[in-house]
Chains A and B, each alone.
Chain A
């Protein structure tokens, strides 16, 4: 596993330093994880996200059985790294996190069959894909004002190589708000699994290295407020932390 961090005037690749909370930079320096700025852990291309891809979450939002994955796209401006801050507008009434397994493409994928799909995966990370429900409109759902806000998509902390993840179809996901667990699920409950999604997407769009698929979130999304610390965990991928801030911090 490796991270991308800014430290001492440059961007570095960093790896965990066993037995400490520190990071080892590629140039040999050992630094505290709170002394660096964590960036999304890979150069991101197209960001592809799934809506309602866990049976329980679909039920939670009163959604009927699906014919086809509900896919939407996001732009680069929404991405931030571990320990970043996400703004909650003063007028929002329901803003929630979404802990998701992010699948990072490592090889060009066009018309890839299910059986060959996993060969195109470079690795994984955790995504926290915020939504503000108040802004949902019934046009091209989910509209970008809900799902593509600045700082609304947190990726990290680590890029974890696919070889380091034995079974991506059996990973527990957990979210904690201020230390209290509010969301729990397992990637075995994905409605459309990773090979299906790669086959489906690559049938009409060529996927390239750095493209990332956010595979959806399970049941248990709750409202979050300025000052809240949200931690998303996935087995083997680490713990992705971020905090919510009010308009004032952003000069609004």
Chain B
């Protein structure tokens, strides 16, 4: 189990981690005109979420196994919101009050073309969601919608994005998600990954640096047979 104690309520993660699909401007832009074509037929209306189940959770410093038969994985560098108080049908103005703090999420995926009905084997593998290195209290972050996210592979900068480029801001996303599902204390909501995602191979190390949140570091290794 993934335990990251922190010093504001609820003091620990619940283990539930959700990610928002296509909430970074670059992710929707990457699809271009395909968004309006079959099988999608239209851009997402409500937030589209996916679940990173408990077997995927890992900490900074953990090795992530690249499954046998695969050469590369996608790195999904992302801001994660840690919920502090039950968030049900919250308004945009009260949304940020429900956040206990923030952490870095690496939403690792097996590269896949279609977002229509992708198999969970692309995102739900063991170790595919490193989190951390710590939960930083909300009070320490002036504006969650103005954080630079830098991804380094073996020390080389490969991607720079910002939470300023989200289609739904953190407050708007919380409001729209909690219209249909309550988020509980300790739940994590990853707010959206910039695309195209950097890819890594076995033997490489990934460092994700977010302003004020530290560095989430993981090594990628070939799966043991």
| Nearest CB of chain B from residue A65's CB, rounded to whole Å | 14
User: Which chain B residues lie closer than 8 Å to A195 at the CB level?
Assistant: none
- CA–CA, A71 and B124, complex, Å: 11
Q: Which residue of B lies closest to A144 (CB)?
A: B49
Assess whether A78 is interfacial by the CB under 8 Å rule: yes
Query: Do the beta carbons of B184 and A70 come within 8 Å of each other?
Result: no
Interface of chain A: mostly helix, strand, loop or mixed: loop
Partner of A149, one of B39, B116, B181, B183: B181
User: Which chain A residues lie closer than 8 Å to B89 at the CB level?
Assistant: 252
Q: Which residue of A lies closest to B35 (CB)?
A: A139
Query: Do the beta carbons of B49 and A143 come within 8 Å of each other?
Result: yes
User: Which chain B residues lie closer than 8 Å to A45 at the CB level?
Assistant: 54
- CA–CA, A71 and B42, complex, Å: 23
User: Which chain A residues lie closer than 8 Å to B118 at the CB level?
Assistant: 140
Query: Do the beta carbons of B125 and A204 come within 8 Å of each other?
Result: yes
Query: Do the beta carbons of A73 and B54 come within 8 Å of each other?
Result: no
- CA–CA, A70 and B117, complex, Å: 8
User: Which chain A residues lie closer than 8 Å to B126 at the CB level?
Assistant: 110, 204-206
Query: Do the beta carbons of A208 and B182 come within 8 Å of each other?
Result: no
Assess whether A227 is interfacial by the CB under 8 Å rule: no
Assess whether A133 is interfacial by the CB under 8 Å rule: no
Query: Do the beta carbons of A140 and B181 come within 8 Å of each other?
Result: no
Assess whether A141 is interfacial by the CB under 8 Å rule: yes
Assess whether B8 is interfacial by the CB under 8 Å rule: no
With contact pairs A77-B182, A149-B180, A205-B124 given, residues A141 and B53 touching in the complex (Cβ less than 8 Å): no
With contact pairs A77-B183, A78-B181 given, residues A137 and B67 touching in the complex (Cβ less than 8 Å): no
Most B C-beta atoms less than 10 A away, residue of A46, A71, A207: A46
Partner of B180, one of A73, A140, A145: A145
- CA–CA, A110 and B126, complex, Å: 10
Assess whether B88 is interfacial by the CB under 8 Å rule: yes
Most A C-beta atoms less than 10 A away, residue of B50, B53, B55, B116: B53
- CA–CA, A150 and B89, complex, Å: 11
- CA–CA, A135 and B176, complex, Å: 13
Query: Which 10 A-B pairs have CB atoms at the shortest separation, nearest pair first?
Result: A73-B51, A46-B53, A139-B48, A204-B121, A144-B49, A141-B117, A138-B40, A145-B180, A206-B55, A205-B55
